[in-house]
Amino acid sequence: MPDQPLIRLGTRRSPLAMAQAHEARARLCSAHGWDESAVELVPVVASGDKVQDRPRAEIGGKALWTRELDHWLLEGRIDAAVHSMKDVETIRPEAIAIGAILPRADKADRLLGAASVAEIPAGARVGTSAPRRAAQLLHLRPDLTVVGIRGNVATRMAKLEAGEADATFLASAGLDRLGEDGVGMRLDPEQWLPAPAQAAIGLECRSDEARVRDLLGAVDHAGSHAEILAERRLLEGLGGSCSSPIAALSRREGKRIFLSAAIFSPDGKVRIADDANFEMEDRTAPLDLARSLLDAAPPAVAVHFGGAA
């Protein structure tokens, strides 16, 4: 047993973030034959956990989930940070690198409050603050009303129970990691596209820390890592932010990735979809797919994507 931790993992304090950090620690200990004490979990309170009454686009976007951990990482107070990759900004500081992507979990969303999107009662209020979910819902069901609802998994489930909305969506992977595998109805991700990088846990470290990068490399899942890089490259090409309605799903066949993507007008009236398949290491194909989507988008949609400039 080491006298002191061999690696310090920073994480947000939310229950889901802590569950993800425990998974990361378990995988590191298993890969290296360590005792649990070799990996110290260092919780921080992220800005996004402090302000939950407004959409995150209004108060700092995805940086709400990474800012504090980035500071601690660059200051050397932690050796690596555990993130939900769908919440990590597309463009990262050069001093920070993705050291590992853990094996990706279920990419699907789950619907709470109805058996399917088609069976949500007419005129119902559906709670979500995610532009992708709102636009995708309104595209299929323009008769529904979207109401803003934020907070961690337990908070959103409680708000639904309290009647603040008639239905809501949560990520299947997050529910599974919290032991809520029986909650909600799973939506087929081929039909209801998830968020880019959904269901992926990432471990970031300082780019110049060879020791830590080597340690993290032992738990990196190459196929999941390739999917995440492709989906993040798509986001880069679209100029997507947390306020851009973007949905994407990738699947692997051998060494190839099949990537389906859609962008929407915020009100869901316009949907532009396309797909591509390419070798896992191809960094250009996702950019080409982004350009194809933007080229097909009317100005009223393209204005929501920085890649259209």
Q: How far apart are CA 121 and CA 302, in angstroms?
A: 32
Spell out a b/e string for 266-279, using b for 16 or more CB atoms within 10 Å of the CB, else e: bebebbbebebebe
The angle, 0 to 180 degrees and rounded to 10, between the axes of the packed helices 15-32 and 210-217 is 90
Indicate the burial class of 284 (C-beta count within 10 angstroms; 0-12, 13-18, 19 or more): exposed
Q: Which residues pair with 187 in a beta bridge?
A: none
Instruction: Confirm if 85 and 228 have CB atoms less than 8 A apart.
Output: yes
87 is catalytic: yes
Q: Answer yes or no: are the C-beta atoms of 39 and 25 closer than 8 Å.
A: yes
Cβ-count burial of 58 within 10 angstroms (0-12 exposed, 13-18 middle, 19+ buried)?
Answer: exposed
Contact 101, 201 (CB under 8 A): yes
Edge-first strand order for the sheet with 271-279 is 246-253, 256-264, 271-279
What whole-number distance in Å separates Cα of residue 62 and Cα of residue 31? 31
23, two tokens:
């998974």
Q: Are strands 109-112 and 185-186 parallel, antiparallel or unpaired?
A: antiparallel
Q: Which residue of the set 70, 79, 87, 220 is catalytic?
A: 87
Name the DSSP class of 265.
-
Catalytic residues: 87
